[in-house]
């Protein structure tokens, strides 16, 4: 492969490539050379996504899992918490083990190489973070979030890429593993790209992304069926919850074009709220022409979980970092509020007024 050409094609200006003991400016071919050196058939490989894994984290992790397995590597796949129901159909989902302090420590400790897919800091794995940090394995991060942690050995991350799944595809290509891709892997990677771009409505304007899609379609994946399985696979209660939230709970702060919805534990129970249900719901207020930022606040046992989505240059990553102990992307971020539920609404309104004024 011609790396100079590859670099141009990929618009590497925004790629962070760091090699252990090397400088930030180290060339791509060095990264591949170094990773190839450690990635050998005798090694135990573990792949993990982030806590509350979404389509991208799952699709990218599983795509890599299938490919490495087909290539003859010893590879296992873990998630720090359960999969949302609408992702459980993904090929290989049954091979995923969920992190558990008692039963997973051994797998983490025995790993020689750990791939981090779709997150920029070990803290995003929540309860698994301490074990992962303590593990002596070489950590390889495949991601597209800004500001990756310095503590990772190998980072391949590009904020211009549509998704971590696209990064996974490019990693597979660069490592010369494309011959081990199959329909299952392609289905998973496609799902990751599709979900993270909200069905190709955002973060998908680079021609290269569609070249990847074109490559994936050659494996005979059923694009329409994937869309259907992801988007038309929810419970009736979730649809009723959406109706209730939009009619009763959605509020607008017009002076800053800001929308928010709060959901209490009691409401979560009443509508049988499931992991991942917030996705899709938090986007809906943005369909109103003069709403630029949408927030959903979900009461948990120990904190209030925040999800944020925005239009154009309204930066919810920075907003979340400043007020909600979180982060993410410019147009999709998350965080937490450590306050009583009753005090949260006031805090949200004041934060939005202060930040977006």
Which one of 33-41, 50-58, 91-99, 337-345 is the stretch in contact with Mn ion (CB under 5 A)? 50-58
Q: Which of 34, 54, 122, 184 touches Mn ion by CB under 5 A? A: 54
The closest residue (CB) to ligand 5GP is 334
Report the residue count for the chain: 357
Q: Which is nearer to ligand 5GP, 177 or 319 (CB)?
A: 319
327 binds, among ligand 5GP, Mn ion, none (CB under 5 to 8 A by kind): ligand 5GP
Distance CA 227, CA 352 (A): 34
Residues 298/303/309/315 CA torsion (nearest 10 deg) = 160
CB neighbours of residue 193 within 10 Å: 29
Distance CA 156, CA 143 (A): 7
Residues in contact with ligand 5GP, shown as a per-residue x/- string from 304 to 333 under the rule CB under 6 A: ---x------------------xxxx--xx
59 binds ligand 5GP (CB under 6 A): no
How many residues interact with Mn ion (rule CB under 5 A)?
4
Residues 339/344/348/354 CA torsion (nearest 10 deg) = -60
Q: Which is nearer to ligand 5GP, 107 or 332 (CB)?
A: 332
- Within 111-206, residue ranges assigned H as helices are 129-134, 164-174, 183-196
Least separation, in Å, of the C-beta of 220 and ligand 5GP?
30
Question: Please, which of residues 230-289 interact with Mn ion by CB under 5 A?
Answer: none
279 binds, among Mn ion, ligand 5GP, none (CB under 5 to 8 A by kind): ligand 5GP
Beta bridge partners of 259: 252, 294
CB neighbours of residue 33 within 10 Å: 11
Long-range pairs for 197-204 at CB < 8 Å and ≥24 separation?
Answer: 197/162, 197/163, 198/283, 199/227, 199/231, 202/331, 203/162, 203/163, 203/329, 203/331, 204/162
Distance CA 19, CA 292 (A): 39
78 binds, among ligand 5GP, Mn ion, none (CB under 5 to 8 A by kind): none
SS3 at position 63? helix
Residues in contact with Mn ion, shown as a per-residue x/- string from 166 to 205 under the rule CB under 5 A: ----------------------------------------
Q: Which is nearer to ligand 5GP, 60 or 334 (CB)?
A: 334
57 binds Mn ion (CB under 5 A): yes
C-alpha closest to that of 85 among 231, 226, 237, 275? 275
49 binds ligand 5GP (CB under 6 A): no
Least separation, in Å, of the C-beta of 158 and Mn ion?
15
Residues in contact with ligand 5GP, shown as a per-residue x/- string from 266 to 285 under the rule CB under 6 A: -------------x------
Least separation, in Å, of the C-beta of 291 and ligand 5GP?
17
Q: Which is nearer to Mn ion, 118 or 131 (CB)?
A: 118
Binding site for Mn ion (CB under 5 A): 54, 56-57, 118
């Amino acid at each position: 492969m011609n790396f100079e050409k590859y670099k141009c094609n990929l618009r590497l200006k925004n790629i962070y490539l760091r090699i252990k003991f090397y400088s930030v400016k180290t060339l791509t071919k060095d990264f591949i050379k170094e990773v190839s050196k450690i990635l050998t058939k005798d090694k135990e490989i573990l792949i993990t996504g982030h806590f509350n894994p979404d389509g991208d984290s799952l699709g990218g992790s599983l795509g890599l899992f299938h490919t490495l397995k087909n290539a003859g590597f010893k590879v296992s796949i873990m998630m720090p918490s359960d999969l949302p129901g609408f992702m459980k159909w993904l090929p290989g989902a049954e091979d995923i083990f969920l992190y558990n302090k008692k039963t997973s420590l051994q797998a983490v400790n025995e790993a020689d190489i750990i791939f981090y897919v779709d997150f920029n800091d070990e803290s995003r794995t929540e309860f698994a973070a301490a074990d992962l940090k303590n593990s002596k394995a070489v950590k390889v991060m495949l991601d597209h979030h800004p500001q990756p942690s310095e503590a990772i050995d190998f980072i391949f991350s590009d904020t211009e890429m549509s998704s971590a799944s696209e990064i996974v595809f490019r990693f597979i290509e660069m490592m010369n593993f494309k011959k081990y891709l199959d329909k299952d892997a392609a289905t998973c990677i496609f799902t990751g790209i599709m979900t993270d771009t909200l069905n190709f409505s955002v973060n998908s304007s680079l021609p290269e992304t569609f070249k990847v899609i074109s490559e994936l379609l050659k494996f005979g994946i059923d694009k329409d069926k994937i869309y259907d399985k992801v988007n038309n696979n929810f419970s009736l209660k979730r649809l009723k919850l959406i109706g209730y939230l939009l009619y009763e709970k959605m509020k607008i702060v017009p002076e800053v074009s800001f929308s928010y919805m709060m959901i209490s534990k009691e409401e979560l129970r009443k509508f049988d709220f499931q992991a991942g249900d917030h996705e899709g719901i938090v986007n809906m207020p943005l369909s109103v022409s003069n709403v630029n930022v949408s927030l959903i606040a979900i009461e948990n046992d120990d904190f209030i979980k925040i999800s944020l989505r925005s239009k154009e240059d309204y930066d919810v990553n920075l907003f979340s970092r400043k007020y909600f102990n979180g982060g993410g992307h410019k147009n999709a971020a998350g965080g937490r509020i450590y306050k009583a539920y009753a005090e949260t609404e006031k805090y949200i309104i004041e934060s939005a007024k202060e930040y977006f004024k």
